[in-house]
Copies of this chain bind each other. A is one copy, B any other.
Amino acid sequence: MVDEPHTQSGDLTISDHDAPRKSRSDGRPTIADVAARAGVGAITVSRALRNPQLVSDILRSKIDEAVRALNYVPNLNASALASSRSDVVGVLLPSLTHTVFTDVLRGIYDGGDGTKLHIQLANMRYNAIEEERLITQFLRHKPAGMIVSGIEQTAKSRRMLEMFDGPVVQIMDLTCDPIDQVIGFSHEAAGRRMTEHLIAQGYRRIAFLSGWLSERSNGRLRGFRHAMAAADLDASAKAYSILDVGMEAAMRDLGQSPTPPMLEYATPDTGRVLFRHIREHAPKVDAVFCNNDALALGVLFECLHQGIRVPEDIGIAGFNDLDFMAAAEPALSTVRTHRYRIGHAAITTIRERLNGETPGVRIDDVGCEIMARRSTER
């Protein structure tokens, strides 16, 4: 039984007339084509592209010429397969809506600029199970490094990241036991310090306003409560969230997005609704500490609407220092967080680690700043 399709006799000359291109290749030049044209070995081309200093000047210039002439584009999938290492950095953020994460992202992109690193981003929607799934997905690409938000990964997520052989940076929060490295700040300290500022300004009946509470928001709330307790104001420390004001219906209406709207529900409109609720049920409240700036802006508008004077009748504080806070009338106090810096530091760390440098600090507290403005100047 001779079922060899290729008879060995003289079929070296491939006829142009038979089957149209049996090859699985898409016809683009490969590293072998470049090597042939430059009259060198393929591996030398590979080296010339990745570590030019390993190749003599003569060959290097020949290779460069061939690359340009053929318009050669390296196939990163082949490279990643052969070296079991890609140049993709996986980034997991809880939300793509909040300006907070947009700024982080900008820092990451700016820091990754001009390198061969590619960012692959995923939205885990404040959902640890989803995060687990996304980590699994990411690891299939054999990424060069990973950036994840927060410190509350599931046990399985954590195990996967620990086994992952590359730098892992957790961002936006702090922990003394990071998977690998962590860059962020203490939300509890931030909440405590802003509350202390409000108390120092003479406010006594302070309400904490939030949309939905992420783990990090809970940290701020803890800080708020501790500061109030430390000043013997426990009785006045009350937190209000959208759950208190029966906004579920309104939330459902929003749903242009398939996202559970609750997660994204921290808008100025929410701020107005929450503040109306407070005026009705707790008229003696003299300051509101909003879990984010959008809520604070809404509170300001509601005060304008009702003719309530800020900061005389009500103090308003936000969180994050988005750019409208300083421009508001009156300017709104808030906590400036270093989001851009965190993103930038995260990708920079990964670059350094990939270059073989040893990690500096494992735990990097970038802190935050209390921006005391007119809205809390009693």
* A2 close to B165 (CB less than 8 A): yes
From the candidates B77, B298, B329, name the one contacting A304 in the complex (CB within 8 A).
Answer: B329
* B180 close to A1 (CB less than 8 A): yes
In Å, the complex CA distance between A180 and B2 comes to 10
Residues of B within 8 A of A302 (CB): 329
* B324 close to A267 (CB less than 8 A): yes
Task: Supply 20 A–B pairs (Cβ within 8 Å), ascending by A.
Answer: A1-B180, A2-B165, A24-B84, A25-B84, A26-B84, A75-B142, A77-B77, A77-B84, A88-B120, A96-B102, A96-B105, A110-B258, A118-B137, A119-B121, A267-B327, A268-B324, A268-B328, A297-B327, A301-B328, A305-B329
* A259 close to B110 (CB less than 8 A): yes
Beyond the given A2-B162, A97-B106, A256-B341, could you list 7 further A-B residue pairs with CB under 8 A, ordered by the A residue number? A1-B180, A74-B140, A77-B77, A96-B109, A109-B123, A110-B257, A272-B327
Task: Say yes or no: is A195 at the interface (Cβ < 8 Å to chain B).
Answer: no
In Å, the complex CA distance between A192 and B103 comes to 33
Chain B residue at smallest Cβ distance from A301: B329
* A268 close to B327 (CB less than 8 A): yes
A98 CB, nearest partner CB in chain B, Å: 9
Contact-residue bracket for chain A: 35 or more
Contact status of A86 and B77, CB under 8 A, knowing A324-B297, A327-B269: yes
A156 CB, nearest partner CB in chain B, Å: 11
Residues of B within 8 A of A25 (CB): 84
Q: Which 5 A-B pairs have the closest CB atoms?
A: A268-B327, A77-B80, A301-B329, A269-B327, A304-B329
Which residues of A are interface residues toward B (Cβ below 8 A)? 1-3, 5, 24-26, 73-78, 80-81, 84, 86, 88, 96-97, 99, 102-103, 105-106, 109-110, 113, 116, 118-123, 136-137, 139-142, 162-163, 165-167, 180, 256-259, 267-269, 271-272, 294, 297-298, 301-302, 304-305, 323-324, 326-329, 340-341
A358 CB, nearest partner CB in chain B, Å: 11
* B2 close to A106 (CB less than 8 A): no
Q: Which of A24, A77, A139, A298 has the most CB of B within 10 A?
A: A77
Residues of B within 8 A of A78 (CB): 81
In Å, the complex CA distance between A267 and B204 comes to 34
In Å, the complex CA distance between A87 and B103 comes to 27
* A304 close to B301 (CB less than 8 A): no
* B165 close to A26 (CB less than 8 A): yes
* A141 close to B327 (CB less than 8 A): no
A314 CB, nearest partner CB in chain B, Å: 15
* A77 close to B340 (CB less than 8 A): no
Chain B residue at smallest Cβ distance from A80: B77
